[in-house]
Homo-oligomer: A and B are copies of this chain.
């Protein structure tokens, strides 16, 4: 071992769960009582640096992902950071194209692979003492292109096109970086959670406006009359100059979505988020045609399971906003591909936040996109939710409605050790005295 190399010596995978369902935080029509959770990966090294990543989940099933990550870590313990950093696509292929594991597809497998990749990227950024976004900004266009698996997306974006896109922003990167060091990506927040009273919504809006927010989201789905009333209420509350979006969390079938959305035309909405199933590409195409003349576009992506799904949504023009998630696909490598495709098709990247520590991650993608990929901040909004920021040592912050530019090395995802000890499942303090009915799979919301 050369004295410059950093070797992965061990991996710890932590099943971290927070009983958020006690207060029904973050619930939607499908996820009736989510316990915000994370499979947390700590890659330890012989250099004292730790690579950290998370896979966000909503309670039961976190252990499935932990199981997968532990298995994949057998492939990387003993490997060197230098080898990873020389060609990240090699580790991507060892995982995603593993000749036997690839049978497991998207979902648990792709998320577990993403955890490993994201922890390696974290480690790399930390070894350079850079925040993740800065590492990405500093990569050469050709290097970025070489991080991407082109097999299934080349019909939408070729490697050469990707390099050209990145070269085009290159001359302005220094200037853009200086601008965004002052003011990070513009943020938006959900004010209209299901279950909040009108007064609670007004109070939430007021609190957000005091922080400089002028873009707000509302959850819809179940009752059309009530949804229309709430949209009107929100629009009246925020005024015509603020942006308003709605989110149906995949609750509708296609025909039902058409009926519901048709009633949303009068309210100058910006987007309709996840009206239908995450993988119904042709459904999105049909909805986009149906509502081509409306004020709003369609948005989705937080549950899109692969770059191939994103490719279709972007190439077809079905979506007007590309909502990447930081932990649903296979890490930085997959997100690079998606951001570059979005840039080619001029679709603003509006990442999905919330959960545990997702905002801590997506702020880096917002930075990279707005500095070096799309190269502007004119149309993007990055989701911001202030839940559970006590879990981490570097909470995300907003100022004047924008993210405060992250400066900690890597993702800035260090968990507070007390938080981890309290919330380890099932042995942490907050879990060990609960009735078994609330523990794991056996807990059913209905």
Q: Which residues does A use to contact B, with CB under 8 Å?
A: 30-35, 57-61, 63-65, 67-68, 71-72, 74-75, 94, 97-110, 150-155, 253-256, 276-283, 285-286, 303, 305-306, 308-309, 311-312, 315-316, 440-446
A303 touches B35 (CB 8 A): no
- Complex Cα spacing A277 to B312, Å: 12
A155-B286, A279-B305 known, 5 other contacts, Cβ within 8 Å: A64-B108, A74-B440, A105-B107, A152-B277, A281-B312
Which 5 residue pairs spanning A and B have beta carbons closest together? A107-B107, A105-B107, A59-B100, A155-B254, A108-B108
Q: A71-B63, A99-B33 are in contact. Are A105 and B303 (CB under 8 A)?
A: yes
- In the complex formed, the residue of B with least CB distance to A57 is B103
Q: A94-B444, A102-B31 are in contact. Are A253 and B61 (CB under 8 A)?
A: no
Contact of A107 (CB < 8 Å), options: B108, B153, B276, B446:
B108
A188 to chain B, nearest CB (A): 23
What are 8 A-B contacts with C-beta separation under 8 Å? Answer: A57-B104, A64-B64, A65-B104, A151-B277, A154-B256, A155-B283, A277-B308, A279-B279
A281 to chain B, nearest CB (A): 5
A280 touches B60 (CB 8 A): no
B253 touches A155 (CB 8 A): yes
A74 touches B105 (CB 8 A): no
Cβ–Cβ < 8 Å partners of A443 in chain B: 100
Q: A151-B253, A441-B74, A443-B100 are in contact. Are A309 and B107 (CB under 8 A)?
A: no
B282 touches A315 (CB 8 A): yes
- In the complex formed, the residue of B with least CB distance to A151 is B253
Q: A64-B108, A97-B30, A100-B443 are in contact. Are A253 and B58 (CB under 8 A)?
A: no
